[in-house]
Structure formats: C-alpha cells, structure tokens
Amino acid sequence: MTRSRIFCIRRLAAAAGALVLGTLSAMATLSSLEAQPQSSSQAEDEGPENRVLTPRVGEIVQQALELLDQERSNDVINLLTPLLAERLNAYERFVVFQLRGQARFQLDDLNGTIADFTAMLQTGAATREEANTARVQLGQLHIATNDLDQGLVFFEAAVENGIELNQGFLSLLSRAYYQAERYRDGLTYAELYYGRQGSKSQSDYALMQAYYKQLGQTENEMRVIEAALSDYPETRINWQNLVAILARLEREDDAFEANKLMYLNGLFEECSELFRLSQYFSYYENPYRGATLLEREINTGRCEGDVDQLRTLANMWRQAREFERAIPVLERLAAQTGDGNWYAKLAEAQYELNNLEAAEMAFVDALDIGGLDQTGAVWSLLGTVRFQAGNVVSALAAFAEATRFSESRREAQAWTEFITQQMRIRDAIPLQMEQIRFQECRLIVARELDAATVTSEVDETGRPVIDVPDNCADFFNLYGDQIAEPGS
C-alpha cells in the first residue's frame, strides 16, 4: 500500500469535519437520545499503520468526500452504508461513520447524525483531540434536538478529557448551562468567558448579567449592567435592566432618574414605560408634569387611553388641583365605566370650580347609579353644594340622608345644626327690627304727648291730638295710645 493511498483522520477533519463544527456552533437549542459518550482510545499513541484505509475503502471514502462537496448527501449515504456490513478495521469504521454522519447532517437528519457520530466515537479509533471534537459536536447536536441534559454530558466529558477551554467552547458551555437552569454549574465558565473577552458584545453582557440575576448576586449584576451601559449607552435594554435592578433594590430615586434619562434620550418605545414615568412624577410630588406627559401620549395615540391610564391621569390632575383639566377625563371615565364613584369625583371637581349646578347634577347621578365607596359622604357633599347654592330646604334633606351613614353622620349633624341656627337667626331679625322700631316710636309719641299739654290740637271732645309718624301708626293712635305689640 502506497502512502498516497493512506487516508488520515486529521486530513478528513480538515477537509470535511470542520464543516460540522462550524455549522453546529450556530445552534442554541436542546432533548431526547440516550447515546452516552465513550472514553477516548489510545489511538494517538499508535503508529500511522493503525490509522490507514485499505485501497478499496480509501477509494470509496474519496468518492464520498467528492459527493459531500457536491452536497449529494443521499448518494453518500447509499455509497457508505453497505461498507458498514463488511469487515472493517476500527479506523475505517471511524471514517465511514463520520462521513455518513456529515451527509445526514446536510439532510437535517439530526438524530441520524447523532447515531453516526456516537458510533464513530465508540469505535475507539479517535485521537484525544478528535474524540473531544466529536464530543463537542455531539453535545451541540443534542442541544439542537432539545436534549439539553445529554448535550451537557458530552460537553462535560470533553472537559474531563482535557479539551482546550477556548472562547468558543466556553461560550457554548455557559449558554448551555444557563438554558439548563444549572446556574451554579455554569457560572465558572461564564465568568471565565466574560473575563477573557476583550471587546464584549451586547449578548456577552446579557448572559453574564442573567447568571448573576438568577443567582441573586446583585452587586455583580449591577457591575455588568453599568459596564454594558458604558459600552452601549444607546441600547434601551441596558437602561431597562438598570431601571429593573434599581427597583428591586428599592432605590426609587435612582430608578426615577434613569427613567427620565431614557425618556429624554428617546429610548421609550412602549406606552407602559411612559405610563410608569408619569407615575414616578406623581410619586415624587410633581403630578402636573406626570399628567402633562401622560395626557400628551394619550392624545397622540401612543397610549391607548384605557381605564387604568385615564384613572391615573384624572387622579394626577386632581392631585395637581388642575380641576378644569381633570373634568374632561373624569367625564370620559364616568361614561366609559358607568361607575358612580367617577360621577362623584366629577362632581367634586365641578364643586372645586364653583360650578354648583353641574356639581349637584353629578352628585345626583352618582347617588342614582349607586355602588359608591362612601354614600354618606356624597350625600353630605350634595347638601353642602345645595346650601351654597341657596337651596336650604333641599340641603337639609341631603344632610338628613347623610346622617344615616356612620362616616358622614357627625358632619351632617353639624351642618344641620348650623343651618337651623342660621334659619332661627334669620327668622328673629324681623322681630328684633320691629322691637327697635317700636321703642323708637314710643319715644317719639312720649315727646309729642309732653308737647301737647302746652299747645296742640284737640278733637271735638277737647282731647289733645298728636302727630304720629306713619311708621309708628301701627303701634300708636293719634292720641298716643298704644294699640299693638311688636310682632303682633
């Protein structure tokens, strides 16, 4: 046998095996075959004479390689399968299984590829390096078929057998462990990859942060987020991660500032983010700014203006005492929900603007609809509005209703007593004025009578007649006699 007829596995790996590893490296998902990795043989310690192909097998392998280059995968399988029924040496079986597995991979037959690569590894003809390459390939194939645990078995076997922990393999390991939710097992590899990686991608930061988050290592997570923000300040997910961790740490002030920076830099894309920022403004006693922001986003259609958003907007306008701007929102809420409580809030806003008629109507609507959180308080407010509008009798009727409820009884009774007292005072004033007028008239009449003894007119009987002012004629006659009492 000439040297030109010897086929070495190292040449095969260079010619075709690299295709598998390079393609499989792009896979990231993992489930269900039961193939187990085998120990590496001592093939690397054997001489080249033990790693050769017979001329006939070599020719068939050469044809298979050419067919693989042409992606005639089925022809490769049909060509190589009969060979496996023959008496081949371990190295020949190793080569045939490898090439047929590559053909099956070209056909997206991952389970068939796994079976052939497992059989290839079990021949014992691979060197340590080749065996580890096969283990990595098998691990990736199992991941691609969603057999995550089995994929990790092959990866771990490669580590145990001394595979080089280069960045590519470290990335595979750390991502596979994370997908398997084996965070503690994968952390060492993830940190090793992260520490070695010079120029980090966004996904590099994301993976390391995810590990620390799952393991509750908040300080480390914060460090990674800050580094990601430093390298990728325009990437909104980094800001979102910062806001989230600040919220978890209850650093609300810092979370608020981070949200404001996102908004100012145009990094908000969703209404939920804008809604959250408006709530932050309200929480930090700037409801006007929060309401202005939320109203603008609802008006532009960026936020849909659902009940929750309208509720927040109305409450912020009320909190800012911008009742005129709150009224349209409250009217919309009342109409959309049919909830009496929103009619009551609408009435309160109208009352704050001294729109007494509109306030009374809204309070009546609220009571007619019912289901109020504080029915007594609404009756009491209705009584207040009616009293201020000068409708005393209807105000007393409303306060009488309010006294039926414990939360408003004391206030309603106080209002009732106050109004009753005011009514008594009002009723007493005319009598008091009449009594004053009577006393004034009595003095005038007395003066006139005194003067009449000296010189005055007399009637036909000789009795003196005095000049009684018109405003005293209902109390005294022309002789100065009292003819009525005040209030009679």
What is the DSSP code string of 401-459?
HHTTSHHHHHHHHHHHHHHHHHHHHHHHHHHHHHHHHHHHHHHHHHHHHHHHTTS-EE-
Q: Which of 295, 297, 260, 300 is nearest to 280 (CA)?
A: 260
Distance CA 407, CA 389 (A): 24
Domain ranges of the chain: 1-163, 374-488
Average pLDDT, the chain: 86
Each residue of 195-253: pLDDT tens digit?
A: 999 999 999 999 999 999 999 999 999 999 999 999 999 888 999 899 889 989 989 88
More confidently predicted of 88 and 46: 88
Beta-bridge partner residues of 482: 476
Structure token pair of residue 185: 């097992």
More confidently predicted of 421 and 36: 421
- Contact between residue 67 and residue 75 where contact means Cβ atoms under 8 Å apart: yes
Each residue of 356-413: pLDDT tens digit?
A: 999 999 999 999 999 999 999 999 999 999 999 989 999 999 999 999 999 999 999 9
Position 425 scores a pLDDT of 73
Distance CA 113, CA 110 (A): 5
Position 9 scores a pLDDT of 33
CA dist list (Å): 260 to 204, 240, 267, 276: 27, 12, 10, 10
Q: Residues of the chain with pLDDT > 90: what percent? A: 62
Beta-bridge partner residues of 382: none
As a whole number, mean pLDDT of residues 42-59 equals 69
Position 261 scores a pLDDT of 84
Q: Which range (86-90, 247-251, 345-349, 462-466) has the least confidence?
A: 462-466
Query: 162, exposed or middle or buried, with CB in 10 Å at 0-12, 13-18, 19+?
Result: exposed
Distance CA 250, CA 264 (A): 23
Q: How far does CA 386 lie from the centroid of its chain?
A: 44
Structure token pair of residue 250: 């209850």
Q: Strand, helix or coil at 476? A: strand
CA dist list (Å): 165 to 155, 189, 327: 11, 9, 67
Give, to the nearest 10 degrees, the angle between helix 271-283 and helix 287-300: 160
DSSP symbol at 15: I
Distance CA 90, CA 54 (A): 12
Position 283 scores a pLDDT of 82
Structure token pair of residue 421: 């007292």
Each residue of 151-179: pLDDT tens digit?
A: 999 999 999 999 999 999 999 999 999 99
The structure tokens 């009002």 sit at: 426
Distance CA 216, CA 212 (A): 6
Q: Is the dihedral of CA 355, 356, 361, 366 positive or negative?
A: positive
Structure token pair of residue 78: 């049909």
More confidently predicted of 6 and 110: 110
Write phi, then psi, for 130 (nearest 5 degrees): -65, -40
Q: Strand, helix or coil at 482? A: strand
Each residue of 250-291: pLDDT tens digit?
A: 898 888 888 888 887 787 778 888 888 888 888 878 899 999
Structure token pair of residue 458: 């007399």
Q: How far does CA 171 lie from the centroid of its chain?
A: 32
| 1-163 fold | 1.25.40
Q: Which of 91, 81, 80, 85 is nearest to 11 (CA)?
A: 91
Distance CA 152, CA 60 (A): 35
- For β-strands 457-458 and 464-465, DSSP reports them as antiparallel
Distance CA 250, CA 316 (A): 23
